[in-house]
Amino acid sequence: MGYEFRRQDFFAGLILCIVCLVIIVESWRMPRDLQGWPWYAGPGMVIGLLGLGLLSMAIALLVRAYRRAGASFLIPLGEAWAYLNDPQTRRLGLMALLCLGYLLTLGRGMPYSLTTGTYLILTMALFRAASWWVVLLTSGIATAAISLVFNRVFLIPLP
């Protein structure tokens, strides 16, 4: 049973380690002195701790995959080509590009609500989530709710 998942677990662990390290670094870069609160009450603290926890689980996955007997870590060219030609892989790549574009535009001069609303509309429209009016309504309500909760309830300024 573990034979076929050795390679997948190893590469998933590597990817998760990289993502977790980015999360930890970015959480450390978040402002820690909001409204005179102590450093441990900053918004990046919980995110950093979650990143550390996920990093420890990713390392455990890496170690477990490395110790397990089974398939080689090398990926045959035919398997790689078949994976890249799979429609689900293309959808995953499109979603990754949308997320990257959203993250790169946050805090770059565009208001948060405009950035988030545009991201939600594009994502739902490209993946045909619903009719156009449902997509617009859902995006508007979600963007307004997120802005309200963070700005008024949690008192965390959004970019």
Q: What does the pLDDT look like over 112-131, one tens digit per residue?
A: 888 999 999 999 999 888 88
The angle, 0 to 180 degrees and rounded to 10, between the axes of the packed helices 87-105 and 77-85 is 70
The residue ranges of every structural domain in the chain are 1-74, 82-159
Contact 7, 64 (CB under 8 A): no
Q: Would you call 48 helix, strand, or coil by DSSP?
A: helix
Of the candidate ranges 66-70, 90-94, 95-99, the one whose mean pLDDT is the lowest: 66-70
Q: What's the mean pLDDT in 36-60?
A: 85
Model pLDDT, residue 98: 93
Model pLDDT, residue 11: 83
What does the mean pLDDT of the chain come to?
84
- Distance between CA atoms of residues 12 and 61, nearest Å: 8
**Residue among 69, 62, 68 nearest 14 (CA):** 62
Contact 71, 8 (CB under 8 A): no
Contact 66, 14 (CB under 8 A): no
pLDDT of residue 1 exceeding 50: no
Model pLDDT, residue 2: 47
**Residue among 104, 23, 107, 12 nearest 60 (CA):** 12
Phi, then psi, of 130 in degrees rounded to 5: -165, -175
In this prediction, residue 4 has a pLDDT band, given cuts at 50, 70 and 90, of low
Model pLDDT, residue 141: 95
**Residue among 32, 50, 51 nearest 42 (CA):** 32
